[in-house]
A and B are shown apart, each in its own frame.
Chain A
């Protein structure tokens, strides 16, 4: 019983001029960055003006694309073939710098300086978890506004951060917006803003509890920080909402990336469900690193039986070794097939592309072209 799975037509997606943004998402270690870069290169070489925003590319891949310098601006990938009239720029996200730029663009120089020097800001913007998601969204918004205003790009390909969960990326703007509306902000801002009589009994209980846990001094520093950021909150929120809305338009295509492993496919299933719930446009699923198919139809059982017979006579038999390897390969393929069928049974309408595992890592444009080729060739 095999469910017929619709095929993800990658070239049709890339060639469709109404596709303006492609977001690659999925759990860590499934080859998201490689898939994003391969899609971007293929689109560029098919005539699109592309920028790819990567989060954490492998060093050699970054070097081959000329983006090993973190300067937070797109740089042209010179070795991309522009014969079809397209172009490829690439950049690596610098989350601290992106955050600093938002602050600098929204606050007066004096206020910006005050914020940038606050110890809480330094911690928040450089090293703590969660910030990367916000900043990836912020950078995407910036690139898109720029592309629309100046016609620099007609396709933006985004790689998502290696989050705890693939869903963090989508939740970031809403979480931020929810927080900015929340009572806590008003609480933290209370001493900076107004007379104590505005504080209800509930408020003072909370303030006392916070003081007890954090200590008075730390709480005051947090309050100073929040007060300083307060003027920025409105714009933060507005932009987060804009980006979220942008992701819901038809010009966006989400590509969910997975490996043929239970965890990665489960995460992919969550993501697919979530995108559907939020009316986000899902283009399809890419299953990377599939085991290459067997070259002969000999079954795993037959191979093992034969290998055992040969091993009985000669424990170092080369033929027995080859048979064992074949059996292992067949079992692996069967298992991956089974996992993919299970996914398809629950999500029968998700177009899928399967990419076989490459022998080595991809670290140059030639390798990316081969991945792009494999993505497009689902024959």
Chain B
């Protein structure tokens, strides 16, 4: 059994008694990862996992991909909070609510100007002069400032909301830009606060940095058990720590099926499998067996064993980062709403939510 599987077992035991999660103080869960590691899937699964009975969770996306709408099979999301699904049910079948928000910088800027500066007519004039376009596409970093600003608003929203019918959230999950950009994305406000030495922009930027650097935020990293993503995760952990941003857990995604135990893996890898035993097993299981089939299955097993050993090497490196780790399996059928609930329950069982 691997170290991480041991820890999973321990946590499961803990959870039965007190049900506290590893991140119960955290309000803002930022989920990042190298491209291709499935960070959006993990963010969605985490939102489902956090939405236990009576809790409202907001899942935000900021990269204009409409990935949430696709995953949950709903219409493309507007710039408006929408309830999209129930959370993952507990043992009694109870669940909270998951809301979603697609944050686009243009709408965020107009809303921001309206909310803090009451720029009705002037807001439109800014748009006409290309200021909105400039600010959201070309002006350095403004885009990231706006996106993080909106997330900040959702996290800090007072009970009852600023406007009527606004929901107050127990947790906000941000499907953030990839690891290569995460330090820059989250640090943009400190850079801005440095540029704007006084004024409203400065105080807003300072407030956002205070939240992001507080224990109420956790930046979780999604990785695969492959060299490059693990290296990037390790670099990101160092970068986040240097920037004073709170590192959360590491979610190891798309883990290969564990159909063979350690002994079987070694046997397959070293080529000491007895083909006659396999032949008679297959015959007993009513498979039309010949020597070719046995050789093929054993060869596929060896391919798998080689990759499992590479995975184990990377798993050791992940564990060395010294933060809580969680593992999610690769599901051969792909990701749909049912699969997300399954992943959410696995995260809960391991104590992430």
Where the two chains meet, the residues of A that have a C-beta atom closer than 8 Å to any C-beta of B are 27-30, 56, 58-59, 119-120, 123-124, 127-131, 162, 164-165, 175-176, 179, 182-184, 187, 202-203, 205-206, 208-210, 212-215, 217-218, 221, 259, 261-264, 292, 294-296, 298, 302, 305-307, 309-310, 313, 316-326, 328-329, 331-332, 335, 359-361, 363
Contacts and interface: CB of A to CB of B under 8 A. Distances in A.
B176 to A, nearest CB: 11
A206 B197 contact: no
Interface string B173-203: 0000110110011001001001111111110
A328 B259 contact: yes
Contact of B334 (A131, A179, A310, A335): A335
Contact of A206 (B131, B196, B284): B131
B126 A296 contact: no
B198 A359 contact: no
Contacts of B129: 182-184, 187, 202-203, 206
Nearest to B131: A184
Interface in B143-157: 143-144
Contacts of A217: 197-199
B64 A28 contact: no
B122 A359 contact: no
B121 A205 contact: yes
Interface residues of B, number: 84
A interface: dominant SS? helix
Contact of A120 (B138, B140, B285): B140
A214 B310 CA distance: 52
Interface of B: 34-37, 40, 63-65, 67, 70, 113, 117, 119, 121-123, 125-126, 128-131, 133-134, 137-138, 140-141, 143-144, 177-178, 180-181, 184-185, 188, 191, 194-202, 226-229, 231, 257, 259-261, 264, 267-268, 273, 277-278, 281-282, 284-287, 292-293, 296-301, 303-304, 306-307, 310, 332-334
B259 A324 contact: yes
Most interface-central of B130, B177, B282, B307 (chain A CB within 10 A): B130
Given A123-B140, A212-B119, A302-B287, A321 B303 contact: no
A76 B286 CA distance: 60
Nearest to A209: B122
Contact of A30 (B36, B267, B306): B36
Contact of A27 (B35, B37, B303): B35
Contacts of A184: 129-131, 134
Given A29-B34, A323-B297, A326-B300, A175 B125 contact: no
A306 B282 contact: yes
Contacts of A363: 227
Given A208-B122, A319-B281, A123 B287 contact: no
Contact of B281 (A128, A210, A310, A326): A310
A296 B292 contact: yes
5 tightest A-B contacts by CB?
A: A28-B35, A29-B36, A215-B199, A29-B35, A128-B140
B174 to A, nearest CB: 15
A322 B178 contact: no
A264 B36 contact: yes
Contact of B259 (A27, A208, A325): A325
A203 B128 CA distance: 10
A179 to B, nearest CB: 5
A296 B298 CA distance: 11
Contact of A129 (B70, B143, B196, B298): B143
Given A182-B134, A187-B129, A217-B198, A261 B143 contact: no
Contacts of A202: 125, 128-129
Given A214-B196, A263-B67, A309-B286, A296 B297 contact: yes
Contact of B310 (A30, A127, A164, A360): A360
Contacts of B226: 361
Contacts of B35: 27-30, 162
Nearest to A171: B137
A28 B260 contact: no
Most interface-central of A165, A214, A292 (chain B CB within 10 A): A214
A162 B122 contact: no
Nearest to B70: A262
Contacts of B65: 165, 263
B36 A261 contact: yes
A130 B201 contact: no
A129 B284 contact: no
Given A306-B286, A318-B278, 18 more contacts: A28-B36, A129-B141, A162-B35, A164-B63, A176-B138, A206-B129, A209-B126, A213-B200, A213-B201, A214-B196, A214-B199, A218-B197, A298-B293, A316-B264, A319-B278, A325-B259, A326-B297, A361-B228
Contact of B191 (A127, A316, A329, A332): A127
A340 B335 CA distance: 17
Contacts of A319: 277-278, 281-282, 285, 297
A218 B199 contact: yes
A206 B333 contact: no
Contacts of A203: 129
20 contacts: A27-B36, A28-B34, A29-B35, A120-B140, A127-B184, A128-B140, A129-B185, A179-B133, A182-B134, A183-B130, A203-B129, A205-B121, A212-B200, A305-B285, A318-B281, A319-B285, A322-B298, A359-B303, A361-B226, A361-B227
Contacts of B194: 119
A218 B286 contact: no
Contacts of B285: 305-307, 309-310, 319, 323
A322 B184 contact: no
A359 B293 contact: no
A59 B63 contact: no
A328 B257 contact: yes
A296 B288 CA distance: 12
Contacts of B138: 130, 175-176, 179
A30 B37 CA distance: 10
Contacts of B180: 28, 56, 162
